[in-house]
A and B are shown apart, each in its own frame.
Chain A
Amino acid sequence: MTYAMEVVYLFSSILFIMGLRGLSHPETARRGMHMAELGMLFAVIGTLVGKQIVTWEWIIAGIAIGSAIGAAMAIFMPMTAMPQRIALSHAFGALAAVLVGVNEYIEKGHLGELSNGLMSAIGFEVLFGALTVTGSLMAFGKLNEMIKGAPITYKGQNFVNISLFFITIGMFVYLIFFPYDYVTFYWMIGLSFLIGIFIVLPIGGADMPVVISLMNSYAGLAAAATGFAIDNKVLIIAGSLDGSSGFILSIIMSKAMNRSFTNVLFGAVGSPQVDTTALAEQRPISRFSIEDTKFVLEQAERVVIVPGYGMAVAQAQHTVRELSDALEQRGIKVEFAIHPVAGRMPGHMNVLLAEANVSYDQLLEMEVINPTMDTVDVCIVIGANDVVNPAARSDKGSPIYGMPIINVDKAKTVIVMKRSMATGFAGIENPLFYEPNTKMLFGDAKHVMQELVAEFKKV
């Protein structure tokens, strides 16, 4: 590799780091992205000019097709489909890493240059890559509802997964010492693909934020391993940035659910099936009509809206914003409280509300809003359930005990918009609904919101 190329790659790496730093604030974020884009352009042009490129037709075809598909996806994909898109793109990135790894294995194998070090790098690359490809495709399928979203479990699942994992690791170690055993190499890739499928199979919809973050991390690690295999530093740097990003996000997500990684990955198996029928005692609930809701809201000074996945499903974000505008016109302060795991991926609610033109300084994190919750007059819960369940605070027997929640029950009045009394994803009864200050407003989130907004416009 020439000196000039190393310098170009160094520039790219710096631009990537500065680009990600821009994301610390919405105002600097776009400039940051432009830097990262420039970095990518440098790296690509540098490679095309500096590396030994013999044939061009495959490169041009690949870039043309890839750009067309990528651009089409970016332009036409609705914001509500963002979790699926992110999951899918992890699969693409990892696929590229696997293929580069296989190619490197074949090429260096022919030349008889497969050292132990190189084999370790290629091994990591294809292992992480392959399980990310299928794992992300599974996540995509579940998010897109092509596969049943609920956990799929069977007896001995953990045993199967763990054995599969150890067999694959065993093959990897064997290959490091005997790198020319290509049959084992392809078997190892095959088994990694299987691991990716099996690992996501038992994971349910509400745990998707962790899975997506984890896949983000793995895709990065695969890219970093590619950098080791082909001796390219910008790949190592970009890969480890991606890897640490996904890692941090998974930690944040796991913490927000008060669960460990292992619990998310292996938790679905053997977790006691909560018998909801026994819990659903006939306690009285109080219901609100649209008019009641309007009346209470008009009296309020400070209103907090807590969105959940239900808002995304009902696509109610635009009507929610209309309500927020109507309230603000009356001089009422409106804020949004966002739980880290609300929705199906990190930041899901923020993107939807931003799409609906909600100002980003109205979007508050759980830790910010909770200490002031007792000064809130009305709290509206839209399509959120487990993240506002006070049982997480008080009921030691509850499966979500210890999970940090948004303390909506501390508000003077809580209005819960819900389709029915059905339990949330975790299948846990929510004592919030029976609190004296809780009013239930049944119906489809979007319809109810529309009626409410219409009610406000009447005057």
Chain B
Amino acid sequence: MPFSIDPIYILVLAGFVGFEIIKKVTPTLHTPLMSATNAISGISLVGSLVAAGSDHMTGQILGFVAVTAATINVVGGFMITERMLKMFKKKEKKS
């Protein structure tokens, strides 16, 4: 693999985008933000799937554990974020 600058480009630019977006997240939602980014970082699942689906025994076993761990994050992370966000309600002012 010859060393390519492309991924570094992506990393830096995505980092900037992330910075600008996260700065605007309201502090009230900081906990859901954490569980949401957590679920999103479960994207390691993509790499884990390839390992688990390979034809080597080691890859399959390492991949299996990785798929399990990443799925816990993806499924659990999104579900709990939704559960939390459902709680953030605005009361209609009874006057």
Contacts and interface: CB of A to CB of B under 8 A. Distances in A.
A354 B84 contact: yes
A224 B39 CA distance: 14
A20 B25 contact: yes
Contacts of B43: 12, 40, 43, 223, 234-235, 238-239
Interface residues of B, number: 82
Contacts of A323: none
Interface residues of A, number: 116
Contacts of A48: 49, 53
Interface in A344-372: 345-348, 350-351, 354-355, 357, 359-363, 365
A145 B7 CA distance: 41
Given A23-B32, A113-B1, A240-B14, A62 B89 contact: no
A71 B34 contact: no
Interface string B10-54: 110011011101111111111111111111111111111111111
A346 B34 contact: yes
A456 interface: no
A53 B74 contact: no
A220 interface: yes
B40 to A, nearest CB: 5
Contact of A40 (B11, B15, B74, B85): B74
A127 to B, nearest CB: 15
Interface of A is mostly: helix
B65 A361 contact: no
Interface string B56-94: 101111111111111111111111111111111111000
B67 A58 contact: yes
A427 B74 CA distance: 39
B24 to A, nearest CB: 4
A213 B37 CA distance: 11
A62 B79 CA distance: 18
B58 A106 contact: yes
Given A17-B17, A43-B46, A96-B42, 18 more contacts: A20-B22, A44-B45, A44-B46, A47-B50, A51-B53, A58-B63, A59-B63, A66-B70, A66-B71, A90-B38, A99-B51, A99-B65, A100-B47, A100-B63, A103-B63, A117-B3, A224-B11, A237-B14
Interface of B: 1-4, 7, 10-11, 14-15, 17-19, 21-56, 58-91
